[in-house]
Structure 1
Amino acid sequence: MDVSSSDALWAGTGLGFLARQALEYLVSHPGADEDAVAAETGVSAAAARTALRSLEAELLAVRIAGQPARWSAGPPRSSLGALLARKRQELARAELYAEQLDEVYRTAPGRQIASDLFEVVESDEQVGARYAHLLRSSRHEVLHFARPPYVTRRITPTDTSTAAGAMVRPGVRLRSVYDSDGMADDGCLQTALGGTPTEGELRLLPGIPMKLVIFDRAAAIMPLRKDDPAAGSLVVHSSTLLEVLTALFESVWERAVPLSLESSPASHTAVPERQEGALHSRTRDILRLMSVGMKDDAIARALRLSRRTVQTHISDLGRQLGARTRFQIALLAQERGLLGDAEG
């Protein structure tokens, strides 16, 4: 019998890896001795003996009299079923204890929890710890707004995605929207580019309404005061408010301009573009950033180009469109559909 082993399938049993291997072997090899188990699992006889005794303690295997000692697995449905029933009882007791601890947590001096829907976290250290916990608990998606003012003495989660980029689990989608008004500062731009993982998605838009991080649409964290990100944060658990905040994010996300996280240095000479109605991808990137009000220096930093290269692309595009000003360029490009659709 070929039984495949999976950590995910065995996780609830509490059995060690070697014990699981030994049990899988015994299920299809009744009466096997310790040497056979050791040979199958690739460990010493002593290690195999320890694993078999742990199975015996959990009533998953029995020792058959004789020399050498032989072992037989119990019927998996009943023996493993009994083990899982014990684990469920342990979890139920742990859940009850968690409720008791939560009551102590809520009534501790200095902690402000108005209800199950909201939690006030005041100090930088508490904000960071709460943020890290929520991020590690995320399994699907993290949504992120970042806007000035930024805390320069100490980066906090609601300022940048640095922590999110470093800690987000593999497979969790991270979408960030940065306020382009804050991208005039090179440090802010580099934080955005360097702090967002390559599989993350970064967009820019002027006038981001607030700092915000939403975790799996199940919890959110935002500053208590819009003008002072160091004044503490509000943790939101209200499903109704979370729906509103998520809808706000999606609305802003649709209007924001994508910024590539895989931009590679380009040549310092713009590529001539002769084909009517089509744009070189680099020129389209420049045009998109222009459309949200970014200046040449900020665009150059965002796309890792020289300022002269950016200006050359803009000049060539102006001649191609017959436009004299940046406003005319953006307007005509929009009218002719040259900006392209933002990827969702």
Structure 2
Amino acid sequence: MLDALGLTSGQQEVYLALLDGAPATAAELRGRVTVAGVTASLAVLETKGLVSRLPGRPVRYQPARPDMAMEVLVRSQEQALQQVRVLAAGLMERFRAGQKAVSSTEIVETVTTREGTVQRLAQLQRSARHQVSAFDRPPYIGGAGTNDIESELLPTGVRYRCVYDRTGLELPGRPAAIRDLVASGEQARVAAGVPVKMFIADDRIGLISLERSPTSDSALIIHQSSLLDTLIALFEEVWADAVPIRFGPPGTGTGTGAGTARTSARHPADRGTLLGLLAAGLTDEAIARHMGWHPRTAQRRVRELMAELGAQTRFQAGLQAARRGWL
């Protein structure tokens, strides 16, 4: 519970025993706890300001007010972490100087395990200060394709631009997850045939999946180089041609009858939602679930909208809608 303050489990037990009971001597505390080294634990707790000695003999210890004592320790930890950040900046200068002599073959790292890939992807995203650019496509590690770190970083001001492959939008729950990210600030687009699964942080480091197996365990880490510049240019090209994803609130059309759905689907907001779902590549069944329509109603509305746009395919409908400014 108090590991973050640098306390061992034994020291924590001694401290909690004092909180729960009256002031006590070291001998009395030995009868309250199950750990050895009570005297040593009291010395550490006293140094950290968590306990103090009462006057008189034998020496009795009492706990300090937790709110005040913890606040001092937390601030001390924050100051130490800030010093680490300053140190990291200096170490980066040494790192850059050392990299000048690095062989061209060392600009790429290979990660071959699932745990390593997950860890490096987390590090890459958390290192971003401005933006993360991403290609998203199946298969996903763990199967879900969720990105909890993005949900954490979006409110902090880190910009996310993601291009989703249409095939990923067919997975159960995926459209709803993307809708939540878009609502949080993600800029999302969809394209057919996204070339690779990729993340790039601040245009200075990238990760691409090797996708050698359905588990996507292996990945390449690309450091600043002409290779990374090429990946950045590839992202910008695909991003420019991709169709923006627009989702309205779930269940926008709540009626299941043809008349109700026909009326609501002609509302501009509902038409924009339907176009966004079409551009995202959702099936009629998925559109029906999202809009709260009967599947036949969704089929009819899709046909009507495609005819209005003069599109032969659903993806063409999204492109035409984007060109007309409907998305």
Which TM-score tier does this pair reach, normalised by the shorter chain? Answer: 0.5 to 0.7
Partner of 2:324: 340
Deviates most, 309-318 or 123-132? 309-318
Cα separation, 1, equivalents of 2:312 and 2:129? 43
Partner of 2:299: 311
> Could you tell me whether the CA contact under 8 Å between 1:164 and 1:196 is conserved in 2?
no
Partner of 1:248: 234
Cα separation, 1, equivalents of 2:210 and 2:226? 19
**Quick one: structure 1 residues 167 and 271, their matched pair in 2 at CA, closer, same or farther if it must change by over 3 Å?**
same
**1:221-260 correspondence to structure 2 within 5 Å:** 221-260=207-246
Partner of 1:146: 136
Partner of 2:261: 270
- Identity across aligned pairs (percent)? 27
Partner of 2:188: 202
> Could you tell me whether the CA contact under 8 Å between 1:165 and 1:196 is conserved in 2?
no
Partner of 1:128: 118
> Could you tell me whether the CA contact under 8 Å between 1:288 and 1:339 is conserved in 2?
no
Cα RMSD of the aligned pairs, angstroms, is 4.5
Partner of 2:271: 283
Cα separation, 1, equivalents of 2:146 and 2:291? 20
| CA shift for structure 1 position 135 | 1.4
- Write the deviation string for residues 81-132 of structure 1: whole angstroms up to 9, x where unpaired: xxxxxx9xx9599639975xx99xx9xxxxxx98541112222222222222
**1:67-216 correspondence to structure 2 within 5 Å:** 95=91, 115-152=105-142, 159-168=145-154, 170-194=156-180, 198-216=184-202
Cα separation, 2, equivalents of 1:248 and 1:259? 20
Q: How many residues align?
A: 238
**Quick one: structure 1 residues 161 and 260, their matched pair in 2 at CA, closer, same or farther if it must change by over 3 Å?**
farther
Cα separation, 2, equivalents of 1:262 and 1:284? 8
For structure 2, the residue ranges without an aligned partner over 5 or more in a row are 1-82
**Quick one: structure 1 residues 195 and 237, their matched pair in 2 at CA, closer, same or farther if it must change by over 3 Å?**
same
Cα separation, 1, equivalents of 2:238 and 2:124? 23
Partner of 1:327: 312
| CA shift for structure 1 position 294 | 3.4
**Quick one: structure 1 residues 95 and 314, their matched pair in 2 at CA, closer, same or farther if it must change by over 3 Å?**
closer
What amino acid maps onto 1:283 in structure 2?
R
| CA shift for structure 1 position 167 | 4.0
What amino acid maps onto 2:197 in structure 1?
K
Give the structure with the larger helix fraction: 2
| CA shift for structure 1 position 229 | 4.7
**Quick one: structure 1 residues 229 and 311, their matched pair in 2 at CA, closer, same or farther if it must change by over 3 Å?**
same
| CA shift for structure 1 position 286 | 2.3
* TM-score, normalised relative to structure 2: 0.57
Cα separation, 2, equivalents of 1:271 and 1:317? 12
| CA shift for structure 1 position 204 | 1.8
> Could you tell me whether the CA contact under 8 Å between 2:247 and 2:273 is conserved in 1?
no
**1:11-22 correspondence to structure 2 within 5 Å:** none
| CA shift for structure 1 position 134 | 1.9
What amino acid maps onto 1:306 in structure 2?
W
**1:291-306 correspondence to structure 2 within 5 Å:** 291=279, 293-300=281-288, 303-306=290-293
| CA shift for structure 1 position 201 | 1.6
> Could you tell me whether the CA contact under 8 Å between 2:251 and 2:291 is conserved in 1?
yes
For structure 1, the residue ranges without an aligned partner over 5 or more in a row are 1-86, 107-112
1:152 counterpart SS class = coil
* TM-score, normalised relative to structure 1: 0.54
